[in-house]
């Protein structure tokens, strides 16, 4: 299961990013464990200065603005099949 954290204090972009991640995972039958982190100190501990931030399996995948669907799917594909991006 891919661990995903959305970092942000609850703004519209953070909420939209969370919903987009959920939809991409669902549409592609990818199993994720999604957590929303809203604590400012915890967000800062990741080195994220611009929200929304996204952490995928412990690594910063995104910071600032809403990512597009293709970008989100690429995070999951690189985690679930690092040598064959057509397996997810």
User: Rounded CA gap, 43 and 85, in Å?
Assistant: 30
11, 80, 81, 87: the catalytic one is 11
Told to judge if 14 belongs to the known catalytic residues of this protein, a careful annotator would answer yes
**Residue 62, both tokens:** 């995104």
Residue located via tokens 């199993």: 31
Please say whether the beta carbons of 6 and 51 come within 8 A: no
14, 81, 87, 88: the catalytic one is 14
User: Rounded CA gap, 16 and 34, in Å?
Assistant: 14
Told to judge if 11 belongs to the known catalytic residues of this protein, a careful annotator would answer yes
**Catalytic center residues:** 11, 14
């Amino acid at each position: 299961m891919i661990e995903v954290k959305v970092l942000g204090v609850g703004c519209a972009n953070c909420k939209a990013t969370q919903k987009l991640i959920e939809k991409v995972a669902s549409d592609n039958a990818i199993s994720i464990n999604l957590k929303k982190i809203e604590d400012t100190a915890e967000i800062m501990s990741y080195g994220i200065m611009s929200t929304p931030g996204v952490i995928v399996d412990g690594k910063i995948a995104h910071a600032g603005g809403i990512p597009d669907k293709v970008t989100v799917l690429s995070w999951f594909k690189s985690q679930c099949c690092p040598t064959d991006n057509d397996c997810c």
